[in-house]
């Protein structure tokens, strides 16, 4: 494949963009325009699991943008949080984030991080990683201080934490791919980009 293949990230996520840029990938960004809440609600109504929802949303974003960007490799990504089979979305308030982190405290949850790459309107590659994260039994005093210092992380990430920041202090154990926890399983994606001549072998 030609090395002038364009890569498009079908996401407005700053963390995903930072991961790609940090790995040396040149790319454009495009919003998919997908109504994620409506799609999630429909899939949940059909009995889809949090894992399936992440995969379906990643594909929908990739394909939708790919149809408008012929010849480009379009990366769609999504991440869902799964606690005992229940799907959690971003908290709407710090009070909700506090209650949620209390629910997660001392328990293990999974982050399902899906990536689908589309070319000319069709998916050509996909991966899904589901790292497991176990929160430590932190005190309410720690939690209140954490939320006071990390309001942005609490409200902008599905779990109420950025693992690359002070959110690391919430955990006692992590099993799985670190990049997937940040929202973009990266190593397989980089391999695909090498195969398409975007990156050097």
Q: Which residues are catalytic?
A: 78
Q: How far apart are CA 18 and CA 51, in angstroms?
A: 24
Residues 62 and 76 sit within 8 Å (Cβ to Cβ): yes
CA angle 158, 86, 137 (to 5 degrees): 65
CB atoms within 10 A of CB 124: 15
Q: Can you tell me whether residue 4 is helix, strand or coil?
A: coil
Distance in angstroms (rounded) separating the CA atoms of residues 128 and 114: 4
CA distance 15 to 127: 18
Crossing angle (nearest 10°) for helices 36-45 and 50-68: 140
Task: Give Cα 200 distance to the centre of its chain.
Answer: 26
Can you read off the two tokens belonging to residue 111?
């982050």
């Amino acid at each position: 494949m030609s090395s002038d293949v364009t890569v498009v990230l079908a996401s407005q996520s700053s963390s995903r963009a930072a991961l790609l840029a940090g790995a040396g990938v040149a790319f454009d960004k495009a919003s998919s325009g997908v109504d994620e809440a409506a799609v999630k609600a429909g899939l949940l109504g059909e009995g889809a699991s949090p894992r399936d929802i992440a995969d379906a949303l990643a594909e929908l974003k990739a394909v939708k943008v790919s149809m408008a960007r012929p010849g480009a490799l379009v990366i769609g990504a999504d991440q869902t949080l799964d606690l005992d089979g229940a799907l959690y979305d971003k908290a709407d308030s710090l009070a909700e984030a506090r209650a949620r982190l209390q629910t997660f405290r001392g328990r293990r949850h999974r982050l399902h991080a899906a990536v689908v790459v589309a070319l000319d309107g069709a998916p050509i590659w996909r991966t899904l990683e589901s790292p497991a994260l176990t929160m430590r039994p932190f005190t309410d005093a720690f939690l209140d201080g954490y939320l006071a210092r990390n309001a942005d992380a609490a409200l902008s990430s599905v779990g109420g934490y950025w693992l690359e920041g002070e959110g690391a202090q919430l955990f006692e154990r992590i099993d799985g791919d670190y990049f997937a926890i940040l929202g973009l399983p990266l190593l397989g994606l980089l391999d695909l980009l090498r195969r398409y001549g975007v990156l050097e072998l």
